[in-house]
Amino acid sequence: MADLTSFGLQQPTEDQENDSHCSISSVEWLVEMNNQSSVKQKQSGSVTFRVLWRIVRVLIAIGLIAVLILRTDIARSLELIQESRPMFLVLAAALFMALILVGNLRWKLLLQAKGYQYKWGFLLKTYLAAVALNSVLPTALGGDVLRMLHTSRPGRPAEAVSIVLVDRALGLVGLLALSLSTSLVLFIRGGSHELLLFNILLLLVLILVLVAIFLSPAYRLLVKILNSIRVLNLGEKLIRVIEGVRSFKNARGVLGWAFCYSLLLWMINCSIWYSLGIAVGTGTSLGYYLLYVPIVAIVAMVPLSIGGVGIRENGFAILMARAGMPGTQAATIALLFLLLTYLYALLGVVMLVWLRREGPVTLVNGTSKPDTL
């Protein structure tokens, strides 16, 4: 069965959830789940490798940031920050909050499509806490797992998993759509074809995955292949999760709106970088940000560092140099974006400390009351 144990976690029993969802904080929950995960890792003999890999990822992130700083004229970078236009720094911070709000709205929409009516405030706190875990913390329990834990129901954990997976997939689709559109415009205007080919290749891979999941003949073949995977019942678990993803097949209106939110989300993301660029005095047009920021985001998804830190910043500096942006300005923008990420991650940590699990809300005779988890 596909459940949270697929991620090294134990799904609580119904009695445990009923007794604890109002009294156990997120930190206590994560500690408990991390302990369970550590026990399983020790039993399998893989704990040393996992710990070492986390340390390596942290060191890679630190090393890449150090490389960026060493290649930058720090004195000039500090001058750019001192001379920056505060209004655009504030705008960038506001846009970052808008980014989180749109992401939370997309997640809430997908939850509602499956009958989960959670309060907006609870989901926002959970989303902020997940941002903190995904961005900066070298933990085995990522923000996506936190979102799954806080919205799963007894006996139906695969739904929570599939909702978050669809949320992630739609984010990737929106990212590819924006990147493909801008690279196509650039190509039509006589630009390089390399980025266009890169985006087309990624789009083809995504189409193949969607065909395998949603087209019945292909899906039957996929199920046959997964059923042959007996190790840790991984094949069966994956099938359950994919079935949850397939359950959105008839929710085309919801998927359409969620895709629009994804496009909006990535346009806001690019606008954050653009606002930081204006703040430090760059004259690079928004089009280059729409072109290169999605590419940087795709590359940063490679799990070599914590939250893509270092990969994202160096990637931005390298690509924006192609647009004629001075290296010091590009590095300053990247470091400001990193600082902004950490500030919101700090807010997410505060939410994580105070976050407690809540049940969904259903409408009964026109009024709301919490469901029992």
**Which H or E run contains 330?**
helix 327-354
Residue 326 Ramachandran class (φ > 0 left, ψ -120 to 50 alpha, else beta): beta
Q: Both tokens of residue 337?
A: 């974006």
Q: Both tokens of residue 96?
A: 């970052």
Q: Both tokens of residue 18?
A: 């009923």
Q: Both tokens of residue 348?
A: 């997410």
| CA 153/CA 158 separation, integer angstroms | 9
| CA 174/CA 153 separation, integer angstroms | 29
pLDDT in tens, the chain (373 residues): 344 544 444 444 444 444 444 445 555 545 555 555 544 544 444 667 777 877 888 888 889 999 999 888 889 999 999 999 999 999 999 999 999 999 999 999 999 988 888 888 889 999 998 888 887 665 545 788 888 888 877 766 777 888 888 888 888 888 888 888 888 887 787 766 777 787 788 778 877 877 777 777 888 888 888 888 777 667 777 777 677 777 777 777 888 899 999 999 999 999 999 999 999 999 898 988 998 898 898 888 877 888 788 899 999 999 999 888 999 999 999 999 999 998 998 888 888 877 776 666 543 334 334 443 3
In SS3 terms, 253-301 reads as HHHHHHHHHHHHHHHHHHHHHHHHHHHCCCCCCHHHHHHHHHHHHHHHC
Q: Where are the domains of the chain?
A: 26-370
Q: Is the pTM of this model over 0.85?
A: no
Nearest C-alpha neighbor of 245 from the set 203, 210, 206: 210
Cβ 64 vs Cβ 313: under 8 Å: yes
Cβ-based neighbour number of residue 199 at 10 Å: 24
